[in-house]
Structure 1
Amino acid sequence: MKVALCYDHLNKFGGAERVLMTLHELFPEAPLYSAVVDNQQATWASEFRVRSSFMQKLPGAAKRHEWYPGIPVFAFESFDFSEFDVVISITSAEAKGIVTSPHTLHICYLLTPTRFLWSHYWDYFTRPLLRKLSLPLVSLLRVWDGFAAARPDRYIAISKTIQQRIWKYYRRKSTVIYPPVDVNKFKIPAFAKALAGKQNSIRSASSGQELKIKKESYFLIVSRLVAYKHIEIAIKACNDLQLPLKIVGIGAEFKSLKAIAGRTIEFMGEVTDEELVTLYQNCSAFIAPQEEDFGISMVEALSCGRPVIAYQSGAASELITPHITGELFYPQSPEALAKILRKFAASQYNNRLCRESAGRFSAMQFKRNFLNYIEKEWKQFRQTVS
């Protein structure tokens, strides 16, 4: 079985890229196709045999593919996959639109139907003028996206939430296989022996000074600082209650979030993996005020034995068991979150139960489920085309 991988754009590292790295372990010989690759930002991609499209030669495209709206459509349609038995596209955008021969099985691991076209259109186009000016292009892209959604032979969804969206927008059935989380790296202190006999500390991104970390003395957010993550909800709730909140991550909304943050809010910026584990292990709880397609950070917190307080929408309901591994709040407002925080006590939650709930998202479980699925579908596909 000759396999190829296909991904939208290689210019960052996040949850989708972790999926790619795990698939690389399953299929080490598979080349990775992508519209563009930024070798400076995506150093991890050096482990793959990357095959980029004609977009790679366009000025600035490797770093700013968004400068060329609509062009990735043609980039992915230009790839030739005739030499492969199976092509696995990992995508939330155009990569599902590749064209494969009748003898090639195309399996799409869909992160979400394209957000700015469908489920979160209003979040992306909040300004009336921008919405009006972009509507003709958005309408054309929706038409293409609908056609492209018919091209994969099989769909895998990253969560039940995404499975529902695939049916709603594309009218395609799918199988749920949750993404992998490194539960071996994110452990409770009793497993990791990280807290035994030593003081915990991390280095502040803003001052460069070493900061002592006291167990269960703060709430934690780990997220890109972008509008649809709604970090402002947690900031306003913690401002009102004068509760300490540490925020890990960078993004375009940093200045606006910093402007509304009170004295109990601390922006940590980017941290090392070791520092991130320490922050998870010692927080009172992890807060997720946004609607998540899956929520890797939530699982990482659970794997470290910490409860999660999340907005009751998206995949949070699949990850969190109220009163056991965390709490869910509704509606998506500072007041609703504050109601939970006001009566929250970390001691009410069993760290072992939190960690056990994260076990079903391990990389080993993902590999087993994914490989079984691929082998079964390839066997059935061969019978239909032979």
Structure 2
Amino acid sequence: MRVALVSDPLTVHGGAERVIEQMLSLFPQADVFAIVDIVPPAQRGFLGDRPVTTSFIQRIPGGARRYQSLFPLWPLAVEQFDLTAYDLVLSSHHGVAYGVLTRPGQVHVSYVHSPMRYAWDQQHAYLREAGLERGAKSWLARWALHKARLWDFAAAQRPDILVANSQFVAGRIRTAHRREATVIHPPVATRALASWARTDQGPPGGYYLSVGRLVPYKRTELLARAFAQMPDLRLKIVGDGPDAKRIAALAAPNVELLGRVPTEEVHRLMAGADALVYAGIEDFGIAAVEAQATGTPVVAYRAGGMAEIIVGSGSPGTTGGFIESQTEDGIIAAVRAFEEARRPRASDCIANAARFSEERFRESFAGVVERALASKGQPEVPIGREQPAAWPPELAAAE
């Protein structure tokens, strides 16, 4: 069986690339296609030694560098990949990947990280953040987004099966595309975090932690403003971005901006925190699962994927708490309630995180593909569910 895997731009080894890594472990024979490929050499391990076939955008002078500004060409670019020789097409989608053209008899399964959010439910927020609420440029942008919605709706009808990374994203697919999606949460390397896991008796480090890009929709500035009103509590912020200057301008002595830090340091900070805190709306929330894999609770806004990850207070195996409103008062109330309540057990957090392991992702995704192949009369094929050989034995046994 010949397998093609189609991706939006490959830029770093992030959440979407972790999904691709697990798809490739299931289908090691797959050929990879991408709009552009600019993954740094040090991060290319998830691709193995596979070459990546890129679109014409990579060959435009400066296209790899300016790929975001060339977004209007992405739909045309993905439709130029010739996949007629393949039996199975997999796509990893957050922009245009599920719009690839297939022939009758092929099976196309698309893993959707998000519909084209800037063209659908978040259009007005994107226009506002880009300063395009009024004027001629605003109307040009609105017209371009209108055309993008028309293409995106048609493209979303092309895959045989849509797989969403959360119930939240499945709901957005239902609203935008009038299609049902199977939910398979993205893979998280819970085994790799076992060495950082604390025990139920492990003392917290006396600080709360925020991890993520400092951009408006993450609402990290709102967290910082709330903690500035709680001088008895400390907040450490990992990440950088346009909101960093506004957070620094607060000059709150109990709010510390750490910028970018190495991955191992992030995991150390997670393992020592009283809780990971988050006030934005995420499609899923990999950092929250990583924190829980180290035994750390999460306090987050009750929306998006976070509502599917956290086991709230009052339920067996509590793993954190919820912020009920995206306001400073809402954050303060949630953190104070967390402080006063019995702390979640590290073992409960670790057990909860195991629901999102890489092994469970592979098993679930392989099952979906097998059913899709059977529905079109394709012969059964072996799908490699085993752990990648690159995993150290001590981590493989640690979940």
Whether 2:210 is the aligned partner of 1:221: answer: yes
Whether 2:282 is the aligned partner of 1:292: answer: yes
Contiguous gaps of at least 5 residues in structure 2? 380-399
Distance 1:350 1:321 in 2: 12
Aligned to 1:198: none
Residues 172-195 of structure 1: per-residue CA shift (max 9 Å, x gap): 111111110011122375679xx9
Residue 166 (structure 1) aligned to one of 150, 165, 173: 173
Offset at 1:25?
1.5
> Are the counterparts in 1 of residues 198 and 294 from structure 2 also a CA contact under 8 Å?
no
Residues 224-261 of structure 1: per-residue CA shift (max 9 Å, x gap): 11121111111111111122111112223322332235
Amino acid corresponding to residue 325 of structure 1 in structure 2: T
Offset at 1:317?
1.4
Distance 1:26 1:159 in 2: 21
Residue 319 (structure 1) aligned to one of 294, 301, 309: 309
Amino acid corresponding to residue 176 of structure 2 in structure 1: Y
1:80-229 pair list within 5 angstroms: 80-126=82-128, 127=131, 128-129=133-134, 131-187=138-194, 189=196, 215-229=204-218
How many residue pairs match? The answer is 364
Whether 2:210 is the aligned partner of 1:241: answer: no
> Are the counterparts in 1 of residues 197 and 271 from structure 2 also a CA contact under 8 Å?
no
> Are the counterparts in 1 of residues 190 and 293 from structure 2 also a CA contact under 8 Å?
yes
Offset at 1:352?
0.6
1:295-374 pair list within 5 angstroms: 295-323=285-313, 324-345=318-339, 348-374=343-369
Offset at 1:27?
1.5
Counterpart secondary structure, 1:220: strand
Aligned to 2:397: none
Amino acid corresponding to residue 160 of structure 2 in structure 1: D
Q: 1:41 to 1:247 in 2, by over 3 A?
A: farther
Q: 1:88 to 1:383 in 2, by over 3 A?
A: closer
Distance 2:2 2:351 in 1: 36
Aligned to 1:6: 6
Offset at 1:90?
0.5
Amino acid corresponding to residue 144 of structure 2 in structure 1: L
Residue 240 (structure 2) aligned to one of 223, 231, 250: 250
> Are the counterparts in 2 of residues 11 and 39 from structure 1 also a CA contact under 8 Å?
yes
Amino acid corresponding to residue 2 of structure 2 in structure 1: K
Offset at 1:133?
3.7
Distance 2:205 2:198 in 1: 18
347-356 vs 249-258, which moves further: 249-258
Root mean square deviation of aligned Cα: 2.0
Offset at 1:55?
0.7
Counterpart secondary structure, 1:382: coil
> Are the counterparts in 2 of residues 13 and 42 from structure 1 also a CA contact under 8 Å?
no
> Are the counterparts in 2 of residues 11 and 41 from structure 1 also a CA contact under 8 Å?
no
Counterpart secondary structure, 2:296: coil
226-235 vs 34-43, which moves further: 34-43
Distance 1:356 1:302 in 2: 8
Residue 66 (structure 1) aligned to one of 65, 68, 72: 68
Distance 1:109 1:125 in 2: 27
Amino acid corresponding to residue 33 of structure 1 in structure 2: F
Distance 2:168 2:121 in 1: 11
Amino acid corresponding to residue 170 of structure 1 in structure 2: H
Identity of aligned residues (%): 34
TM-score, normalising length: structure 1: 0.89
Counterpart secondary structure, 1:343: helix
Aligned to 2:255: 265
Q: 1:261 to 1:322 in 2, by over 3 A?
A: farther
TM-score, normalising length: structure 2: 0.86
> Are the counterparts in 2 of residues 238 and 338 from structure 1 also a CA contact under 8 Å?
yes
Aligned to 1:199: none
Residues 179-217 of structure 1: per-residue CA shift (max 9 Å, x gap): 10011122375679xx9xxxxxxxxxxxxxxxxxx8431
Offset at 1:92?
1.0
Amino acid corresponding to residue 247 of structure 1 in structure 2: I
Offset at 1:364?
0.6
